Chain A
């Protein structure tokens, strides 16, 4: 099976200059590979560095050492050393990050938020509108909310907008940080199905899920970060 992502010797420590320059080691020397169609679940106690690792894979945090090789089209790109514009290109077409929190853009309607990544990929606006509507309906978001900006929505509604935005046009690598965290059982089910669908279509999934039942349904493999804990 094709390797989609290869993490090599990843270490992270935060240096907090505003707090007496205290150094906060999180993990060291993390190596792993994720192949097409796999769903790797990151494991370990709160604070072990699961979200930190996921953010490094996305290029949002910078590792203290190591590399993240991502298969983009036919070539590997190292997210750690690539130029900003190349990282953005990889994010636009290959690498998505889904958290439980929606970053609301002032005044932009729900349907436009969901369409936005498709438009950035050059999908025809009318097709984008149709697909966005289908996805919002599938996630049980009432149609009367679609034209509103989600700033006034409930946490669970905002979360579903965020999921719709990412799964309406899934990329080959999906990074998921507790996307089902505060959803009810019915909506959680929809999300689990969306993840499975993407994986069956060849996506590589790397995710964090606190819910044991969800974990069991999604995981093809687990990666426990406890073993990589860095000494202070």
Chain B
């Protein structure tokens, strides 16, 4: 038995992939999210937890360029230098969102084309990326259906013929197939029953690790956060009240609200 040797290139720090700088979003005088700053590095998985109405989805929508913040900036490393995503011309931003980002919606209907076959839902994203060879696209679609555990003989079925769990797995395949650098997920296992959730979580865990994708995951489930995320931000009333390594925040919470949140569950 020999001991694990640390990498020698450890000193080289890669640059952050996404930078959130004092992002705030107001809805009139109602607070969506307030003054949220953090950096996300390539391959890192960040969880956002907090009670209903604390601003998790609002923040995620601002970070993903779906909503425009009232104040603050979101920078993304697109090419050599970070660019403010809201300064980009609309077509450039749309293209970047399609090819470098992925968004997994809580409701698979929001992320799938319900009138297009399962294979088409996956293959379409490869065509967006510039792939044109029909046979190769179909093979890649089949491969991805397999990875999310959808039987290849369902490739020509429409999503509406699938169960909720299958639709969610198909959405994940559609999002991950172009191998985005960053994925946003809002309650990805929300409406699913517990056994289906467990399969999906394991699938996400392995895919994110194997592809080295960075991800931001909103969830109200601390067990999901523990399983999938490296880092955690806890939100309350639109603000981040505590953040750190996921196991640290869950096992040794310092903020009163985080202590309440972690003591309210039996085990996470």
Chain A residues close to B by CB (< 8 Å): 14-18, 55, 59-62, 72-75, 84-85, 87-89, 93-94, 105-108, 119-121, 167, 169-172, 197-198, 201-203
Contacts and interface: CB of A to CB of B under 8 A. Distances in A.
6 contacts: A60-B245, A60-B247, A75-B11, A88-B245, A106-B227, A171-B3
A74 B9 CA distance: 11
Contacts of B252: 14, 55, 60-62
Nearest to A97: B247
Contact of B227 (A18, A60, A61, A105): A105
A93 B48 CA distance: 27
B248 A59 contact: yes
Given A105-B202, A202-B3, 14 more contacts: A16-B259, A17-B259, A18-B256, A18-B259, A18-B260, A59-B245, A60-B252, A73-B6, A73-B7, A94-B4, A171-B3, A171-B4, A172-B4, A197-B1
Interface string B233-247: 000000000001101
B13 to A, nearest CB: 9
Interface residues of B, number: 33
Contacts of A17: 255-256, 259-260
Nearest to A174: B3
Interface of B: 1-8, 10-11, 41, 44, 198-199, 201-202, 205, 209, 227, 230-231, 244-245, 247-248, 251-252, 254-256, 259-260, 263
Nearest to A58: B247
A202 B1 CA distance: 11
B130 to A, nearest CB: 30
A14 B10 CA distance: 34
Contacts of B248: 59-62
A121 B251 contact: no
Nearest to A103: B226
Most buried by A among B1, B2, B256: B1
A105 B10 CA distance: 29
A108 B202 contact: yes
